[in-house]
Structure 1
Amino acid sequence: MLVFETILLLLLGAALLSMLAGRIGVPYPTLLAVGGVAVALIPGVPRLGLPPELILALFVAPVLLDAAHDTSLRDLRANWRPVLSLVLVAVGLTTIAVACVSRVFLPDMPWAAAIALGALLAPPDAVAALAVMRSVAPPHRIRSILEGESLLNDASSLLVYKLAVTAVAVGGFRVVDAVPAFALVTVGSVVVGWLLAVLVGRITAPIEHPAIATILQFVTTFGVWIVAERLELSGVVTIVVFGLTAGRRASGSSRTSVRILSFATWETMTLVLNVLAFTTIGLQLGPIMERLDGGERATYPLYALAILVVVILVRLAWVLVYGASHRLSRAPGDAPRSWTATFKSGLLVGWSGMRGIVTLAAALALPADFPYRDFILLVAFVVVLGTLVVQGLTLKPLLHALHFPPDTIVEDEIATARSAAIGAAMQVLDGEPGPAAERLRHEYREALGVARAGEDPRTSSDNALRQRVLPASRHALDTLRSAGTIGDEAYRAVEQELDWLELSSRPAESA
């Protein structure tokens, strides 16, 4: 009961801190991590821990799937060069730099262990950055870059991390042996993720009960991760491909009531997992310090602070150098949708490198007998907490200081999507004479644009006619996304409006 009561108190405290963070304009991950440190320093607080093999699955799998489902492939394709420069080069440089610095500080540290430390520190966590930027409306292209990076760099860094951990277990490895294994794991994970997405989509599409469908979604999420692990593939890559594939399903491929309620549940659950993860970051301070002896206490924290500086500077330096080189050599018209377009954009992207849930989970998931595990845990804690505090608290002032011009890309795309949906509906109604069709024409134009989650659009007396109109609008919406005219953010916004219109026409079914 004590552990259960402690978890309830932590959730309550985290909820209150998140509310406070919104009021004072501080990113909630920063405040939660600091709050976790404060709790860890209270004498007698129970030590909460999870088996290492469960940590990545519990904290990472649902959050990655949710992010992948909402990621716009169009925006990824438009920004693939700068995204890959962050996913591959920035991650690689950070891994190498951290490994080399760690070996300078601790010459006896195996190279594989040093590389594992660099790999788990390499991927930035976009949760904190996006929590800040969504409140100040940054350019859409920068949000797209950070969302795509946070999705893909987890895969690249954790693949390196997994190979390094395996190398420690077997006593070493050669690069010529690791590259084919790396490629095989990647390709296998992509194939399995796609196949599972197609299979699960066909099985779950006919389900009409929202609660059952949502439960199956969560079971499937963890099941996909477990299947990948059992096949010795990458759970991260498999989950990302699974989510990207599932997110491309047509609007009419699932039940409207299922989609509305499951989206709300997923938003709540991913927030709870993030809250627990960032709170857990702070709670690790006590156990980490308890395992360090007196001599190590004097040197390890200093080494950790030095590595924190390295992690921040390597990313910032690469982003600025890459941006400058791209501006000097870019082809005409190549810059507007990329953060390489201006120095200001590069500075913001380079400073949005806060570490979080993936770094902490990967560090905690190391085997108990892993070389220098306590040092790695301390460094991971210092880097995560340090970036959340230093960069998290300064990102919003930096955004204001850079004075980005207003960006209306998403709003313009939503307007385009609404016009197409209304136009498709009007084509159906033009062949329907009489007052019912005229009434629905007026109502449709009014409701599609004011309907929001939680609001109940006006209903028509001719619900059967409406059920004929909505599929045409959904088809028009799917066509716009497939053609790349609109991104997934605009697509989801108008899809939700159509969902509420459909539910309002059959209240008995939606209930």
Structure 2
Amino acid sequence: MPLVDLVVALMIMAVGLGWLARRINTPYPIALTIGGLALTFVPGLPTPRLDPEQILILVLPPILYHAALITSWRDFRQNLRAITMLAVGLVVFTTVALAWVAKLLLPDLPWVCCFIIGALLSPPDAVAATAVLSKLRIPRRVVAILEGESLLNDAAGLVVYKFAVAAALTGLFSVPSATVQFAGLAIGGLVLGALIGRLAVAVQSKLRDPVIEVAFTLTMPYLVYIGAEQVHVSGVLAVVTFGAVRAWYAPELYSPETRILAYGVWNVAVFLINSLVFILIGLQLAAVSGFGGIPLELLGAGLALAAAATATRFLWVFPTAWASRKLIPALAARDPMPSWRILTVISWCGMRGIVSLAAALAVPYVLSDGTAFPGRDEIIAVSFVAIVATLLFQGLTLGPLIRALGIGEDSDAREEEHLARLKTAYAALSEVERLAAADGRYTEEAVVAVRAEYAGLLGQERSTEPASGDDADPVRRLKLAAIAAARRRLIKLRRDDQIGDETLLAIQRELDYEEARLGG
């Protein structure tokens, strides 16, 4: 099958699976996983030989950048301790535990390959977590911790993974040296991402074409990742930091038209990239297992590794939550011990996904001396089984588990959004009153019409219906001025830490659509 025909077929399959996921109200990573799994039973499918070095470069930058853009960084800062313990401590703990389990299950597999499996399966996935959690109503702090963890643990997991692959290629590994390198990679990635982020903000301010601006945002994550890898720092942390810097300036940097266009383009791009990886792993797995499915030994090993990954998360979350508060009394006073129900939910949210899949595909075909990489087929097979098991089992049971535990959404997020809406409406109304008093271009009818609209948002009695006819243009200009004032107030609320990015994005999108409707 020609490459073009294959890509078209995969895109059609991705669209079909996405439509099916929406119809049955299931997160689309789960539908894509099932679709990729189904490919292993189709005879005669082509198996494209993918360049392992290019897989992570193709997949990770846009996925990480998009996740960083929609992360609430205020909530991230407030939960940094818990996020770090999960994103770094749990990743290392899980890598070692799963490597030991893999060696017990597959004794003929070299230890270094077992550590590769452990590193592959150590980080839960940002896309899977967001897609599943978006369907559920749970406390905002739980969402912030899980999304923050899924951003940072990719860096820790991939650094360990690259060390394990390098050890397999060279036969050399040193724990002290690896620790120093890890610190250098992390700090370097953070600094580089921040510097390029500020530079990109300066460049972006000079661009005034929405299409060019969106194209710029699509290319920059790749440039940041490749540049970071070239100077031997963490490309993952560089892209995440770059995304965080851009997210901070985006409300003021982009025009409403650019934000609306970027929102649609990025959602489509992330969906297609996820679809391609899930389907391509199915094609690769078909080559490993042959028509008829995965060998029973590897199937059992993958399921056991999935169970071990889940158990390891429970073994880490509960003891560290208790020990950290026992060892640090001030922490216990400032942040009381969460209920066992909350800790259970955090422990259960360990779905693996796109990063693990991409890293599995990136395992080299050959060693430095040209011989076949030991256990590559086994690594891909057991990793895919484990990923499928966590996505399907945990992803599909998370909702029923939350309902059974009686956990509901806290009122903080709703109250915060309600307060932000009131304050932005008040800012808009104040701007209308100021312009009415200072600018003689606005007729009394136009002022009354716009004033009535915002008074209605504030729960005040409307004095008249909106004007029409000859007053249409003054009403439009006045509304655009009111929207601009509301947007300024919204940005100030975020800068003053009164609202998080989630609230800002929700209200900002409504303001953008309203401005676009008015032709602003």
Same fold by TM-score, threshold 0.5 exceeded? yes
In 2, Cα distance between the equivalents of 1:395 and 1:25? 14
Map residues 279-428 of structure 1 onto 2, 5 A cutoff.
279-290=279-290, 297=295, 299-325=297-323, 331-335=332-336, 341-369=338-366, 370-428=373-431
Could you tell me which amino acid in structure 1 is paired with residue 344 of structure 2?
Answer: L
Q: Which of 372-381 and 440-449 deviates more?
A: 440-449
Residue 317 of structure 1: how far off its partner (Å): 2.3
Q: Deviations over 1:115-166 (max 9, x none)?
A: 2221111001143343333223222222111111111110111111122222
Q: Is the 8 A contact 2:43 2:291 kept in 1?
A: no
Find the counterpart in structure 1 of residue 462 from structure 2.
Answer: none
Report the Cα distance in structure 1 between the residues aligned to 2:68 and 2:2, rounded to whole angstroms.
37
CA contact (8 A) 2:52 2:363 kept: yes
Q: Return structure 1 stretches of 4+ with deviation > 6 angstroms.
A: none
1:82-97 equivalences in 2 (<5 Å): 82-97=82-97
Q: Distance in 2 between matches of 1:252 and 1:174?
A: 47
- The verdict on how the C-alpha distance between 1:42 and 1:112 changes in structure 2, with shifts beyond 3 A counting, is closer
How far the C-alpha of 1:178 sits from its partner, in A, is 1.8
Q: Which stretch of structure 1 is more off in the superposition, 30-39 or 190-199?
A: 30-39
Bigger mean CA deviation after superposition, 484-493 or 168-177: 168-177
Report what 1:440 is aligned to: 450
- When residues 324 and 184 of structure 1 are mapped into structure 2, their CA distance, relative to the original with a 3 A threshold, is closer
Q: 2:181 — aligned with what?
A: 181
Residue 455 of structure 1 is matched in structure 2 by none
Q: CA deviation at 1:9?
A: 2.8
What corresponds to 1:486 in structure 2? 499
Q: Structure 2 counterpart of 1:285, which letter?
A: L
Partners of 1:29 and 1:58 lie apart in 2 by: 18
- Structural RMSD (CA): 2.7
Q: 2:232 aligned with 1:232, yes or no?
A: yes
| Unaligned runs of at least 5 residues, structure 2 | 367-372, 438-442, 460-467
Q: Compute the displacement of 1:305 (Å).
A: 3.0
| Cα 1:501/1:392, change in 2 over 3 Å | closer
| Separation (CA, whole Å) in 2 of partners of 1:500 and 1:412 | 23
CA–CA separation in structure 1 for the residues paired with 2:512 and 2:473: 15
- Inter-CA distance 380–116: structure 2 relative to 1 (3 Å threshold): same
* 2:69 counterpart of 1:69: yes
How far apart, in 2, do the equivalents of 1:24 and 1:464 lie?
Answer: 44
Quick check: 1:411–1:490 contact (8 Å CA) kept in 2? no
Match of 2:244 in 1: 244
In structure 2, relative to structure 1, the CA distance for the partners of 1:91 and 1:502 (3 Å cut) is same
Cα gap change, 1:12 to 1:321, in 2 (>3 Å): same
Report which stretch shifted further, 77-86 or 402-411.
402-411
Please state how far the C-alpha of 1:464 moved relative to its aligned partner: 4.3
User: In structure 2, how many angstroms separate the alpha carbons of the residues matched to 1:155 and 1:446?
Assistant: 48
Structure 1 residue 175, shift from structure 2 partner? 1.7
CA offset digits 1:54-112 (Å, max 9, x no partner):
21122221111001011111111221222122112211111011122233445565544
Contact 1:252 1:474 in 2 (8 A): no
Contact kept, 8 Å, 2:129 with 2:351, in 1: the verdict is yes
Deviations 1:181-200 (A, max 9, x none): 21111111111111111111
The answer to whether the 8 Å contact 2:88/2:156 transfers is yes
Alignment partners' CA distance in 2, 1:308 and 1:61? 26
Kept after mapping to 2: 8 A contact 1:61/1:239? yes
| Residue identity in the other structure for 1:168 | A
The structure-2 alpha-carbon separation of the partners of 1:447 and 1:327, relative to structure 1 and needing over 3 Å to count, comes to same
Q: Percent of pairs identical after alignment?
A: 37
Letter in 2 for 1:41: F
Q: Are the structure 2 counterparts of residues 446 and 182 from structure 1 closer, same or farther at C-alpha, using a change threshold of 3 Å? A: same
C-alpha distance 446-158 of structure 1, shift in aligned 2 (>3 A) = farther
The match for 1:12 is 12
1:236 Cα deviation after fit: 0.8
Conserved in 2, the CA contact under 8 Å of 1:116 and 1:161?
yes
Query: How many residue pairs are counted as aligned between the two chains?
Result: 493
Q: Which residue of 2 aligns with 1:262?
A: 262
Normalising by structure 2, what TM-score?
0.87
Equivalent residues of 2:306, 2:389 under 8 A apart: yes
Find the aligned partners of 2:123 and 2:407 in 1 and give their Cα distance: 26
Match of 1:506 in 2: 519
Q: Is the 8 A contact 2:117 2:379 kept in 1?
A: yes
Write the distance in 1 (CA, Å) between the matches of 2:2 and 2:273. Answer: 21
State how far apart, in whole Å, the 2-side matches of 1:35 and 1:3 are.
20
- Equivalent positions of 1:132-211 (< 5 A) are 132-211=132-211
- Where do 1:79-118 residues align within 5 Å? 79-106=79-106, 109-118=109-118
Shift in alpha-carbon separation, 1:445–1:322, aligned structure 2, 3 A: farther
User: Structure 1 pair 465/90, CA: closer, same or farther in 2 (3 Å)?
Assistant: same
Which one-letter code corresponds to 2:355 in the other structure? V
Q: What SS does the corresponding residue of 1:60 show, helix, strand or coil?
A: helix
Shift of 1:448: 9.6
Q: Does structure 2 conserve the Cα–Cα contact (< 8 Å) formed by 1:18 and 1:31? A: yes
- Give the secondary structure class of the aligned counterpart of 2:54: helix
Task: Give the gaps of 5 or more residues in structure 1.
Answer: 450-457
